[in-house]
């Protein structure tokens, strides 16, 4: 079945550092890809998404590009803030499976 | 704004008790989902529903059941709670464009502890 693998955390950074969280997926077709973020004590919120190859999703300074050739959707931010401390989930949706498949989540801690 | 609410943020129950987790969404979404979230495992789908009185099993339905009597409300039921059901439970909803491809909107979660 479909699966999503993302780097394990926690990832600890200083403010203004560059953040990358790796995400790769396996799928039989061409899934839509998502990054969700969970701030402390809250539910998940959609951060960005891409629905086809070479699409770039972006929001709040975060970006991720759908790379079909490497089956990846890595999340990046050029300069993180303390307020970016959260757990980040990569997810894929393939119509044949008809459900979202989540990665294990990556906790990011940004220190001032 | 879409709002998904869950009946409790924290819940403590004893082994063998029957537990009801309630979820309500206010955006007339057709699709509703129940997940559990465990460290290192991400979110795993328990059950989902595409319409009133309709339900489908997700990846880990054992030990759970659901009820959807009204469009806005989706209940998760633990018939006889066990300690391995201690977890964070998240409800989500999405509109009825091609099923599931659109954004899912999540509630704040219910952290359930079974003693």
pLDDT the model gives residue B9: 92
Write out chain A residues lying below 8 Å of B4, CB-based: 43
Q: Which of B91, B102, B88, B114 is nearest to B3 (CA)?
A: B91
Average pLDDT over residues B38-45: 87
Interface check for A8 against chain B (CB to CB < 8 A): the answer is yes
Question: Cβ of A43 and B107 within 8 Å?
Answer: yes
- How many angstroms from the chain centroid is the CA of residue A107? 11
pLDDT the model gives residue A63: 98
Question: Cβ of B40 and A32 within 8 Å?
Answer: no
Percent of the residues in chain A that have a pLDDT greater than 70, as a whole number = 96
Q: Which residues contact A9 (CB under 8 A, 6 or more apart)?
A: A87, A105, A106, A107, A108
Listing DSSP states for A46-80 in one string gives EEEEE-STT-EEEETTEEEE-BTTTTB--EEESS-
Paired tokens of B63: 């030990």
Give the three-state DSSP class for B84: helix
Structural contact between residues A80 and A19, judged by C-beta atoms closer than 8 angstroms: yes
Number of Cβ pairs < 8 A linking chain A and chain B: 51
Interface residue of B7, B35, B42, B102 to substitute, partner A, most A CBs within 10 Å: B42
Write out chain A residues lying below 8 Å of B107, CB-based: 43
Interface check for A87 against chain B (CB to CB < 8 A): the answer is no
Average pLDDT over residues B84-112: 85
More confident call, A92 vs B98: A92
Residue A98, pLDDT > 80, answer no
User: How sure is the predictor about B97, in pLDDT bands with cuts at 50, 70 and 90?
Assistant: low
């Amino acid at each position: 079945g479909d699966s999503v693998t993302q780097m394990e955390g926690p990832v600890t950074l200083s403010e203004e550092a560059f953040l990358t969280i790796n995400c790769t997926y396996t799928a039989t077709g061409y899934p839509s890809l998502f990054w969700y973020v969970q701030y402390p004590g809250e539910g998940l919120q959609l951060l960005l998404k891409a629905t086809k190859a070479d699409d770039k999703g972006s929001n709040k300074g975060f970006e991720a590009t759908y790379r079909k050739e490497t089956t990846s959707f890595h999340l990046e931010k050029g300069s993180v803030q303390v307020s970016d401390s959260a757990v980040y989930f990569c997810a894929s949706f393939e119509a044949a499976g008809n459900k979202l498949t989540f990665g294990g989540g990556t906790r990011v801690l940004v220190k001032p | 704004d879409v709002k998904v609410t869950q009946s409790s943020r924290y819940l403590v129950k004893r082994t063998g008790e029957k537990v009801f987790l309630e979820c309500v969404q206010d955006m007339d979404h057709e699709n509703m989902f129940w997940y559990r979230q465990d460290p290192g495992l991400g979110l795993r789908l328990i059950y989902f529903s595409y319409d009133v009185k309709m339900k489908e099993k997700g990846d880990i339905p054992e030990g759970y059941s659901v009820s959807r009597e009204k469009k806005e409300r989706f209940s998760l039921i633990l018939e006889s709670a066990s300690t391995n059901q201690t977890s964070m439970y998240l409800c989500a909803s999405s509109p009825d464009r091609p099923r599931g491809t659109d954004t899912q909107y999540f509630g704040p979660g219910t952290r359930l502890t079974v003693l």
